[in-house]
Structure formats: structure tokens, C-alpha cells
Amino acid sequence: MQSADPVLLFAIIALVGLAVLFGAILGFASEKLKVEGDPIVDQIDKILPQTQCGQCGYPGCRPYAQAIASGEANINRCPPGGQATINHLADLLDVEPLSLDAESGVEEEDTKVAYIIEELCIGCTKCIQACPVDAILGAAKQMHTVITTECTGCDLCVDPCPVDCIEMITVEKGVNEWHWDLPPSTSRQLAGLNISDVITTDRARSKQDDAA
């Protein structure tokens, strides 16, 4: 048995050597295997409200984020996000905040949600096809209904309806629905989620969401 000292020295040298070796390999690999993905697109996409409404002229929030990142589009074309989103984007990209582009639409003051008047619905499924977030339930010749917790209030389903049975109703802000005006990424999850009164079938689910 050797005395304790050289073993201790060996142990320290060996472990440090291994750590340095693996560190070097990993450092080299992280250079070599760098992902070309544009992290700025992800950051912009996070700020956007994810309504996928297309009012900005792009087919969804992510394409719009890509367009902003590549400098093709201005940051002021997102009506659902409103001025708050524009300010956040301006903050992130270090540019002057603009006011909302009138061409894209106007900012809605209140949270809205689609509501299908059930007696009038003929079950044509046209609104289901129009919905960008799959918030409408139903089948051909069956009455449709809106999952309020999923609905982003983008009103893309209103135009395709042949019998005009979809209304956008404003969500009354009561004590339960009022929330701090947090940054968009979190405020959308918090605001307007417990509108469980519009559809009975969603009550259980939104309660679960609240509990979670």
C-alpha cells in the first residue's frame, strides 16, 4: 500500500485531467455542432400573442416573428397583442416603439371570445376550418361549439359562417378575471382563462387549469 499522498495526488490529477479533456471535447463539439437556428426568432415568437390570426399579413405568429427578425416587417402589425406587445418587441430589438399599424387592424380593448348561437348553427364545419387554434368543436351536421379557453378572439371564424351564427362577445372582467397586466407571454395564460360560464362542458377543464 502506497502512502496516502501520491494516491491523493494521482486522484486529483486524474479527475482534473479527465474533466479538462471532456470539457475540451464538449467545447469543440459545441462549436462544431452549433445549431444554426435563430434564437431571436424564438424570442420574438414568445412575445407575440400566439393567436395565429394572420392580421399581420403572415400566416401565423412564427412566420411573422421570422419576418421581423429578418427585417422584412415592422413590429407594429399585431392588433391582438396591441401596444403592449409592440413595446416589448421594441425593447427586445432595441428600436423605437411604433404605434399600431392601422392597415393591420385596431387593438381591441377587451378580451373577446367567439360564441356560436346554437339554434342557428347548421353544422357546416366552415368555422372549424377557419379556426387557427382549433378552438371549435363539432362535426358535419352537428352543432358546433367554441372551447373558450382555447379561443383567442381573432374573429376569423365570423366571416366564413353562412348563417351568421357566430358572435364575438366581450368577456366581462369581474373580480375573477382581473389580472395584473403582465408581459404578454404570461398574461395570456392568466387572463381570461376562467371564463367557464360560456360553455358548460369546459368547466371541469378550466378548473383543472386553474388548479395546475
Q: Between 8 and 163, name the residue whose CB sits nearer to other proteins.
A: 8
Q: Between 12 and 120, name the residue whose CB sits nearer to other proteins.
A: 12
Q: How far is the CB of 36 from other proteins (least distance, A)?
A: 9
Residue 102's SS3 state is coil
Size of the site for other proteins (CB under 8 A): 18
Pair 146, 135: CB distance under 8 Å: yes
Q: How far is the CB of 2 from other proteins (least distance, A)?
A: 7
49-88: contacts with other proteins (CB under 8 A): none
Angle subtended at Cα 49 by Cα 56 and Cα 104, rounded to the nearest 5 degrees = 20
Q: Cα(118)–Cα(166) distance, rounded to whole angstroms?
A: 9
Partner residues linked to 102 by β-bridges: none
Question: 91 is written with which cell numbers?
Answer: 425593447
Q: Between 34 and 119, name the residue whose CB sits nearer to other proteins.
A: 34
> Pick from 40, 80, 56: which is nearest to 188 by CA?
80
Q: How far is the CB of 137 from other proteins (least distance, A)?
A: 20
105-144: contacts with other proteins (CB under 8 A): none
Q: Between 33 and 211, name the residue whose CB sits nearer to other proteins.
A: 33
Contacts 24+ apart (CB under 8 A), 7-11: none
DSSP state of 180: -
> Pick from 107, 117, 147, 118: which is nearest to 131 by CA?
147
Q: Between 20 and 120, name the residue whose CB sits nearer to other proteins.
A: 20
Q: How far is the CB of 67 from other proteins (least distance, A)?
A: 21
> Pick from 102, 94, 44, 43: which is nearest to 76 by CA?
102
Per-residue interface string for the shown chain with other proteins, residues 11-50, x marking contact by CB under 8 A: x--xx-xxx--x--xx--xx--xxx-x-------------
**95 CB neighbour count, 10 Å cutoff:** 11
Q: Between 34 and 200, name the residue whose CB sits nearer to other proteins.
A: 34
Q: How far is the CB of 131 from other proteins (least distance, A)?
A: 24
145-184: contacts with other proteins (CB under 8 A): none
Residues making contact with other proteins (CB under 8 A): 2, 7, 10-11, 14-15, 17-19, 22, 25-26, 29-30, 33-35, 37
